[in-house]
Amino acid sequence: MTFLFESVFNGMSIGAVLLLTALGLAIVFGIMGVINLAHGELMMLGAYTTFVVQNGFRQLGEGWFDAYLFIAVPLAFAVAAGIGVLLERGVIRYLYGRPLETLLATWGVSLILQQLVRSISWQMTLQIILFCLLFFGGRWLLSKRAIAPPWQAWVTPVLLVLSVGIGLTAGLLVGGAVGLAMTKPWFGAQGVDVTAPSWLRGGVNLWGVQFPFVRLFIIALTAVCLVAIYLFLLRSQWGLRIRAVTQNRSMSACLGIPTQTVDALTFALGSGLAGVAGCAISLLGSVSPNTGQNYIVEAFMVVVVGGVGKIVGSIVAALGIGYVNYVIGSGLMTRFLEPQTALFAFFEFFASTSMARVMVFILIIAFLQLRPAGLFPQKGRTVDA
């Protein structure tokens, strides 16, 4: 019985992490048809948000420190959702219906976000703020004035060059005057650690099995996110609009549904869930600019196996992959086999985390040969421009 409880809990624990990381992707990729390779970096931003909130609460004292997760989770959602909206408005919106360009653009955004986290400092922050104020503020002011046709084509390039030049120069001057406090990167390339609050340390022993509180918290957080997504999509007006646009975009637009707002809201929702996933995985290990890359492939794997556009499929796929990963990676199968046999040697060879992942990939490839549409058939759409 102990063996059974241990297997069920460990498989569910791995599946919960997979599901939480794939839930946002299931919405963006499944409902909107957008392949967002920057999804992992949105998770990474959620993890760094948790790190910043943790440090802020640590300054307030031990009593406050135990409560930082209650602020970190919604703040990670808000930060990732905000970045997601900017990404949709600034990049994705112009690439709907062009999957290859979307793939390349989001990959480029993921590299930019990784480097931004490595290099961000007060000096860079000042340069970015000055550039945005000068460029976007300048464009807004000039849009209020009548410009002669021969000069209209030169307005944006000239404004861009001036904004970049002034922003960079001002940042360098201020950085040179203030020194290291201004130029030192906030996070750098090294990983940072997020400490779990005291009520998440340790675990509870039931039926001879140790249940870590952190794993139980992630399972509970995943369940809360699932219920919230279910209620939002099936019990709210905006959820109804998202489902309507998913079924028939043109008809929804004819009925007065703001399809572009629905697109932005859907992308914000998926990105926000990535931020919550980042908050959860920050409790499992150190956080670095490459954190998202460790989860993005598995997140896509869950969505594809479950069936694009099906949240239920993602749940089943995440739990299934989690159990298979645990059974193979922990060497569980070798307990039931006779030593010195070929089958024993086979499962012993794959009894590690990295090799178990290889075996899971092989099984998924074989599975997709039989069911290319995944466990559940697709009910999504490719968003038109």
Q: Output the pLDDT for position 378.
A: 62
Q: What are 172-214's pLDDT values in tens digits? A: 898 888 888 888 888 888 888 888 888 888 888 877 778 888 8
Does 161 score more than 50 pLDDT?
yes
Cβ-based burial of 288 (10 A; exposed 0-12, middle 13-18, buried ≥19):
buried
Q: Output the pLDDT for position 302.
A: 87
Q: Output the pLDDT for position 49.
A: 95
Q: What are 104-160's pLDDT values in tens digits? A: 999 999 999 999 999 999 999 999 999 999 998 988 888 887 777 777 778 888 889
CB 233 within 8 A of CB 368: no
Q: What are 9-60's pLDDT values in tens digits? A: 777 777 888 888 888 888 887 677 788 888 889 999 999 999 999 999 988 8
Question: What distance in Å separates the CA atoms of residue 202 and residue 216, rounded to the nearest whole number?
Answer: 11
Tell me what the pLDDT averaged over the chain comes to.
85
The pTM for the full model equals 0.86
Q: Output the pLDDT for position 383.
A: 43
Q: What are 242-297's pLDDT values in tens digits? A: 888 877 788 888 888 888 888 889 889 999 999 999 998 898 888 998 888 888 88
pLDDT, average across residues 302-312: 82
Does 236 score more than 60 pLDDT?
yes
> Shortest CA distance to 293 belongs to which of 2, 4, 21?
21
Domains of the chain: 1-120+185-370 (1.10.3470), 121-184 (no CATH)
Question: What distance in Å separates the CA atoms of residue 188 and residue 300, rounded to the nearest whole number?
Answer: 28
Question: What distance in Å separates the CA atoms of residue 324 and residue 319, rounded to the nearest whole number?
Answer: 9
pLDDT, average across residues 222-246: 88
Does 373 score more than 60 pLDDT?
yes
CB 19 within 8 A of CB 255: no
Q: What are 57-99's pLDDT values in tens digits? A: 988 887 888 889 999 999 999 999 999 999 988 888 888 778 8
382 band by pLDDT with thresholds 50, 70 and 90: very low
